[in-house]
Amino acid sequence: MKTVELDRITIHKPSVTDLEIAYVNDAIRNGWGDHCYDYIKRFEKSFAAYQGSAYSLATASCTGAIHLALAAMGVGAGDEVIVPDINWIASVAPVTYLGAKPVFVDVLEDSWCLDPARIEAAITPRTKAIIAVHLYGNLAEMEPIMRIARKHGLRVLEDAAEGLGSLYQGQKAGTFGDIGVFSFHGAKTMSTGEGGMLVTSDAALMERVRILGDHGRDPKVNRVFWMAELGYKYKMSNLQAAMGCAQIERVDELVDKKREIFGWYREFLASVPGLRLNPEPAYTRNSYWMPTAVFDPARAVRNLDLMAYLKEQNIDSRPMFYPLSSLPMFEEVRENAVAYGLYHRALNLPSHHEHTRDQIERVCQTIVHYLDYVKG
């Protein structure tokens, strides 16, 4: 009997339509010389309007946006920056670029985001800033985080790389902190292939960001090729911005599709005991960038084992991020019990915009089969 090869269900890819292709083609043909910044300026303006932010800066990556943000906030050698322990390395690497020290704080069991109750114990005279990350679309508890930050005179960098379209108390993710940053990597809800965006409503911070992001050139100084200080170059290209202009026009459609896909997961996995998905408290709206399944410890499900089984069935998945403090370049913080007890029993599930209800049902049926018959 011939075995039927199941179509591969990939975990992510960008949604590209004729609109994106048309804009990028126009940028290739006409976006040079006096027009080399046209799509960049248009993208920045459109994104700031979507967020409700006064200022924005398109960057080559979200990592670059974080670096610029921290530098503009004055983070430097000897300073400390509080970060959630479960996270992608890009949120913390720029802290080290500036000679500062990341201080890893535990996360909440339900949202996997920074635990506000543990922040104050981590604050020292060297603490300069807090990085709050909206993980997988889940919302960090911005109200208590901002309250603690203001009490101690700390800056807040809101990493919304994975939180585009999420709302906390009716307000867009990325607009609570002094600066918010976003990612447009090919895996994200909205993509420019690679790229990022920095937003703020603080004019002084934006002035610093613009100078630092353009090699240290101050636009108020009328001297060509004159740099007053050393800066960086994290500029997005006009070609990337052209795709971004199309994507921001479709952003509500893109977020709504992510929410629809998550709704299918919630429906098909609702009856599975000991399995939790991304939360959506009543005061939030989760954009569900990456549906994530977390298994109760009693089920003894290890993500790598389940991922291997899914791969055998031609289904892609990803593990949850490691605790950053467990990586070899940092010192372990085993006191972060939630982070260290969480990552190995959680995995990310396929969720790009072209997935159908039948495909998501197949993913869920495969998980249920593993739990009931393979794992036992």
Give the model confidence (pLDDT) of 35-68 as tens digits. Answer: 999 999 999 999 999 999 999 999 999 999 999 9
Domain contains 1: no
Based on the fold, state whether residues 337 and 207 are members of the same structural domain.
no
Based on the fold, state whether residues 185 and 37 are members of the same structural domain.
yes
Based on the fold, state whether residues 240 and 263 are members of the same structural domain.
no
Length of the chain: 376
Domain count, the chain: 2
User: Given 216, 249, 282, which residue is the final one in a domain?
Assistant: 249
Tokens of 97: 């670029």
| DSSP state string for 307-350 | HHHHHHTTB--EEPPPBGGGSTTS---TT-HHHHHHGGGEEE--
Say which range, 172-176, 224-228, 337-341, has the weakest mean pLDDT. Answer: 224-228
Mean pLDDT of 268-282: 97
Domain contains 192: yes
CB atoms within 10 A of CB 225: 6
Tokens of 60: 């080559």
Domain contains 99: yes
pLDDT band at 302 (very low <50, low <70, confident <90, very high): very high
User: Given 220, 249, 278, which residue is the final one in a domain?
Assistant: 249
Domain residues for the domain of 33 are 18-249
Based on the fold, state whether residues 169 and 294 are members of the same structural domain.
no
Based on the fold, state whether residues 62 and 75 are members of the same structural domain.
yes
Interval 158-183: pLDDT, tens: 999 999 999 999 999 999 999 999 99
pLDDT in the model for residue 375: 73
Domain contains 8: no
Based on the fold, state whether residues 265 and 239 are members of the same structural domain.
no
Rounded distance, CA 43 to CA 307, Å?
Answer: 38
Distances (CA, A) of 92 to 44, 52, 138, 319, 330: 25, 26, 19, 19, 11
Based on the fold, state whether residues 198 and 227 are members of the same structural domain.
yes
Domain contains 11: no
SS3 140: coil
What are the strands of the beta sheet with 167-168, ordered from one edge?
171-172, 167-168, 284-285
Based on the fold, state whether residues 260 and 245 are members of the same structural domain.
no
Domain contains 310: yes
Tokens of 189: 């809800």
Tokens of 212: 């630092």
- Contact by Cβ (8 Å): 38, 238: yes
Interval 180-212: pLDDT, tens: 999 999 999 999 999 999 999 999 999 999 999
| DSSP state string for 17-59 | -HHHHHHHHHHHHH-SGGGTTHHHHHHHHHHHHHHT-SEEEEE
Based on the fold, state whether residues 260 and 218 are members of the same structural domain.
no
Domain contains 4: no
Based on the fold, state whether residues 279 and 196 are members of the same structural domain.
no
Residue 348's CATH number: 3.90.1150.10
| DSSP state string for 171-186 | EETTSSSSEEEEE-BT
User: Given 184, 214, 249, which residue is the final one in a domain?
Assistant: 249
Tell how many helices (H) and how many strands (E) occur in the chain: 12, 14
Domain contains 3: no
Residue 40's CATH number: 3.40.640.10
End-to-end CA distance of the chain: give it in Å, rounded: 27
Mean pLDDT of 133-144: 98
Q: Which residue has 């009693």 as its token pair?
A: 298
Q: Which residue has 């307000």 as its token pair?
A: 171
Based on the fold, state whether residues 75 and 213 are members of the same structural domain.
yes
Based on the fold, state whether residues 31 and 180 are members of the same structural domain.
yes
Contacts of 274 (CB under 8 A, 6+ apart): 295, 296, 298, 299
